[in-house]
Amino acid sequence: MGAAAVGFAPSLAPLIIDRFLQSLGEAVILPNSLCVLGRAFSADKKARAVGIWSAAAAVASGVAPAIEGAILDQGSWRTTFLMLLHVSASALAVGAVWIPKAPPPGHAWVDVGGAVVSTVGLGALAAGLTSLTNGSRPNLWVLVTLIAGLGCLVGLIVTQRRLGDSAMLSPSLFAPRSVVGANLFTALLYGSLTVMLTLIPFVMIRGAHLSTLVAGLAFIPLQVLITVVSPLAGMLCRRFGRRWPLFAGGAVVASGCTMALRIGPNATYWADIFPSILLVALGMSLAIAPLTTLVLTSVEADRAGIASGVNSAVSRGASLFAIALLGGVLQQGGPQLFSGFHMAMKVASVGCVLPTLAVFIIKPGSHVDFIPPD
């Protein structure tokens, strides 16, 4: 429904509203799909199931940019959204047939206030940061949005502690240190990854003057490696424990961001861009499935959906702030574009080193179905 509305949006304001509607649907699907996996598989099979889930997601996210690049070269951007109608309808049909029915849930308190306050807070902070990085001076609008955003997030923390287990973000959910470590790792890694995923195609098109189709195909190696390596997540977790696949993944992604410093105005894909993407692909393929498995297995089985939802929100929030901080770079052209791009890659590289330190917050050992609070 949201995709169809975006495809027919007559102007910017309806487009933003329709994208918000589309995002609501996506926000419901992701944590619930992981919750189904968490309940359907035992501890010894859960990591492999999550690996296959990650591989399927990688295939989809690898094919989509390539198709969209071809469409943008030949047709309208609206077509890229309208084609989602057939995909969504197929997904609904498959889900209705294959996903087992769960027992009727009991009465559950929905923390609507927490959801509204968190949305307003994140949105206000993103708006303020975007204005600052676009070259705006700290005017009244910027100050108001930043103060309102910070105030909402502080208020959210206070109210969530007061509500306890009835809160959207129950404090007891973060009692296991592995949950804290996993979410910190997620925020740092996905924020840095978003910088690369956003800027490299932009620089390829605007700076190196490569085609939209080539930019759409650029990250195919990322999806291929994730598809191949993710089903091995169970073996990685059993062989190396909870920490080391994540440590290695963050370190390799950091080296990929550093390799991107080679990209310049005369860059070619295979010689200058592909080596960086290959390293990022290898690092993410090592980290994604073990990280998702860690999130699901660090809490009780009946809280797996909440834990995966929080982790998904953390990754999206990190991506939101990363994009908000890129406004100044995205406005540049010529030598200034590459100067800003290289600075962003240096920051992203440091941002990927920090998750390798965050893994030591995670409780050592192999994955199990439930780890009691530390």
Q: In which residue are the tokens 């009465």 written?
A: 107
Whether 194 is in a domain gets the answer: yes
- Domain co-membership, 116 together with 255: no
- Domain co-membership, 346 together with 207: yes
Whether 92 is in a domain gets the answer: no
- Give the mean model confidence (pLDDT) for residues 190-214: 89
pLDDT at 367 over 60: no
Residues 6+ apart with CB under 8 A from 240: none
Q: Select the more confidently predicted residue: 220 or 51.
A: 220
- Residue 339: the pLDDT is 94
Q: pLDDT of 290-311, one tens digit each?
A: 888 888 778 877 777 788 778 8
- Residue 332: the pLDDT is 87
Look at residues 34, 40, 33, 3 and name the one whose alpha carbon lies nearest to residue 18. Answer: 3
pLDDT at 142 over 80: yes
- Domain co-membership, 144 together with 71: no
pLDDT at 277 over 60: yes
Last residue of a domain, one of 167, 187, 211: 167
- Domain co-membership, 122 together with 221: no
Give the whole-number percent of the chain exceeding pLDDT 70.
87
Structure tokens at 42: 């035992």
pLDDT at 366 over 70: no
Whether 144 is in a domain gets the answer: yes
Whether 368 is in a domain gets the answer: no
- Domain co-membership, 278 together with 337: yes
Whether 102 is in a domain gets the answer: no
Last residue of a domain, one of 167, 196, 212: 167
- Domain co-membership, 354 together with 334: yes
Q: Select the more confidently predicted residue: 199 or 306.
A: 199
Work out the pLDDT band at 79, boundaries 50, 70, 90.
Answer: confident
- Residue 228: the pLDDT is 79
- Which region among 82-91, 252-261, 329-338 has the lowest average model confidence (pLDDT)? 82-91
Give the whole-number percent of the chain exceeding pLDDT 90.
27
**Distance between CA 323 and CA 317 in Å, rounded?**
10
- Residue 23: the pLDDT is 81
- Domain co-membership, 147 together with 288: no
- Domain co-membership, 311 together with 200: yes
Q: Select the more confidently predicted residue: 111 or 267.
A: 267
- Domain co-membership, 160 together with 180: no
Instruction: State the chain's mean pLDDT as an integer.
Output: 82
Residues 6+ apart with CB under 8 A from 342: 261
pLDDT at 374 over 50: no
Whether 303 is in a domain gets the answer: yes
- Give the mean model confidence (pLDDT) for residues 30-35: 72
Q: For residue 132, give its domain range.
A: 112-167
pLDDT at 267 over 90: yes
- Domain co-membership, 75 together with 122: no
Half-sphere exposure of 145 (CA within 13 A, CB side): 16
Q: Select the more confidently predicted residue: 368 or 153.
A: 153
The one-letter amino acid at 72: L
Last residue of a domain, one of 132, 167, 202: 167
- Residue 66: the pLDDT is 65
- Residue 43: the pLDDT is 63
Q: pLDDT of 311-337, one tens digit each?
A: 888 888 898 899 888 988 988 888 899
Instruction: Report yes or no: 195 and 254 within 8 Å, Cβ to Cβ.
Output: no
Half-sphere exposure of 257 (CA within 13 A, CB side): 32
Structure tokens at 252: 């390799």
Whether 99 is in a domain gets the answer: no
- Residue 234: the pLDDT is 67
- Give the mean model confidence (pLDDT) for residues 198-220: 86
Q: How many domains does one find in the chain? A: 2
Work out the pLDDT band at 28, boundaries 50, 70, 90.
Answer: confident
pLDDT at 185 over 90: yes
- Residue 257: the pLDDT is 95
- Domain co-membership, 138 together with 223: no
Whether 107 is in a domain gets the answer: no
pLDDT at 276 over 90: yes
- Residue 1: the pLDDT is 67
Q: Select the more confidently predicted residue: 302 or 343.
A: 343
pLDDT at 372 over 70: no
pLDDT at 194 over 80: yes
- Domain co-membership, 269 together with 207: yes
